[in-house]
Amino acid sequence: MRTQETLTSQVVTSIRAAIKDGTMPGGVLHSVGSIADQLGVSRTPVREAVLQLANLGLVEIQKNRGFIVIEHDPADLERIFQIRSWLEVPAAGLAAQADAKAKQRIQHAYDRMLEVAAAGRSADLERYDAQFHSAILSATGNARLASIVDDLRDLLINRRHTTTDRLHSPIDIAHDHDEILRGIMTGDSALAEAAMQEHLSRIRGDVLHILATS
């Protein structure tokens, strides 16, 4: 028997997937009841899922009406990438000085990213891309960093998906992490930080380009 917590988690996953693939567009009112019917669950886990997503900044609740998926303007996106840079650039430098076990986790995520990219599996690529960044943040020894950046990445899930599919091939996206990895694995903090800054700047430019031309 599925528990309420499990149902809510499944609904969160379903809504996130719908936001990512564009079947749940931003700026449109979505009904809790219709989603419950589509997923074959009661309204309670849907309401709880929407509350969780609202706390993450992904949706905005419209009282007694439903919710809308938040569409971020360029200024919002600039702030998100600025915060990511503040956190991830120094984290890459610290990861370059981490122990062998932490570096192995980073290498493993990178290897899996290349593997799925070569197979053209964009959805899996995004997962291992996130794992690569999370492994770097975890290598700092601060467990909260990865969680904070995961939340920031969540705010970009629909933009990120569009960028991945439209502007670059999966293998090019994977190789955009090469210099970050090289800096970390060779213990070169300066290279790791510079490569991370360049990587995030490229993503920022891509996302803003998609926003301006969509």
**Predicted pLDDT of residue 167:** 77
For the residues 26-49, what does the mean pLDDT come to?
92
**Predicted pLDDT of residue 114:** 96
Closest C-alpha to 35, from 51, 17, 47: 47
Q: What is the pLDDT of residues 54-90, one digit of tens each?
A: 988 889 999 888 999 988 788 988 999 999 999 999 9
For the residues 28-46, what does the mean pLDDT come to?
92
pLDDT(164) > 70: no
The dihedral sign for the CA sequence 148, 168, 202, 70: negative
pLDDT(161) > 60: no
Percent above pLDDT 90 for the chain: 59
pLDDT(202) > 90: yes
**Predicted pLDDT of residue 70:** 87
State pTM to two decimals: 0.80
**Predicted pLDDT of residue 152:** 84
Architecture of domain 4-69: Orthogonal Bundle (1.10)
pLDDT(1) > 50: no
For the residues 14-26, what does the mean pLDDT come to?
84
Those residues whose C-beta lies under 8 Å from the C-beta of residue 15, and which sit 6 or more positions away, are 24, 35, 49, 50, 53, 59
Is domain 74-213 annotated with CATH 3.40.50.300? no
Those residues whose C-beta lies under 8 Å from the C-beta of residue 125, and which sit 6 or more positions away, are 113, 116, 117, 164, 170, 173, 174
Report domain extents, the chain: 4-69, 74-213
